[in-house]
Amino acid sequence: MPGVAHTETRFDRRLAEILEYAIEVFYERGYEGASMRDLSRATGMSLAGLYYYFESKERLLYLIQKHTFKTIVQRLKERLKDANQPEQRIRVFILNHLEYFLSNQKAMKVLSHEDDALKNGFGAEIAAIKREYYHTCLDLMDEFKAAKGLEFNSRIAVLSLFGMMNWIYTWYKPRVDADASELARDMGDIFLRGICTGGQRGTRRKV
């Protein structure tokens, strides 16, 4: 079916290729530490040639972050459609995050690590997606709390969960550590049991 959306031009494909290399380079040396020359070397394209595809190094990072983030959010939405129970929905969130994280480890490091490298407009747009993603998780948490009649600080819970998950880029070793689904189960266990038991302020007790 011909249409507007599926016309992926040669330009788009070439740009996507370059972005792959850029992810590699930013992953390896950090956004500030990476130079356009590094990217030129990595892609085999001339310095000037790169600029045909994007207007600045900053925009390059922006494109990476946006695409990465949008994809993870979109996949989440897809998966959430099939999950109804509050707990299950949180587990879906975790699995989605970790699956994407591990299949796109380098991009995710660039997303996580270069959190505040973008300025002004670019930064604001990514921050907005991030906020949306955060609130999705926050909502899941509140649903869960309501369903279970629990009482805890959702903000802390969500941010702790993000911490657990995002920190992965600092330690994950493919050949040592389990795959995404097992990791999601383990982290899900820790997190969900953690926020579950007791939990009522005032009646908090030793574990």
Residues at the contact surface with its own copies, assessed by CB under 8 A: 30, 32-33, 87, 113, 115, 117, 152-153, 155-157, 159-168, 170-171, 177-178, 183, 185-187, 189-199, 204, 206-207
R_g (Cα) of the chain, nearest Å = 20
Residue 144 binds: one of its own copies, DNA, none (C-beta under 5 to 8 A by kind): none
Type and span of the H or E element at 48? helix 47-50
Residue 74 binds: one of its own copies, DNA, none (C-beta under 5 to 8 A by kind): none
Residues 17 and 31: their CA atoms lie apart, in Å, by 18
- Quick one: DSSP state of residue 174? T
Residues 128 and 169: their CA atoms lie apart, in Å, by 23
Binding span for DNA by CB under 7 A among 46-54, 97-105, 140-148, 171-179:
46-54
Residues 150 and 104: their CA atoms lie apart, in Å, by 34
Binding span for DNA by CB under 7 A among 49-57, 72-80, 137-145, 177-185:
49-57
Footprint (CB under 7 A) of DNA, residues 6-45: 9-11, 14, 34-38, 45
CA distances (Å), origin 165, targets 17, 100, 169, 172:
27, 11, 9, 11
C-beta of 88: minimal distance to its own copies in Å? Answer: 10
Residue 37 binds: one of its own copies, DNA, none (C-beta under 5 to 8 A by kind): DNA
Contact 91, 143 (CB under 8 A): no
Site residues, DNA (CB under 7 A): 9-11, 14, 34-38, 45-49, 51-53, 55-58
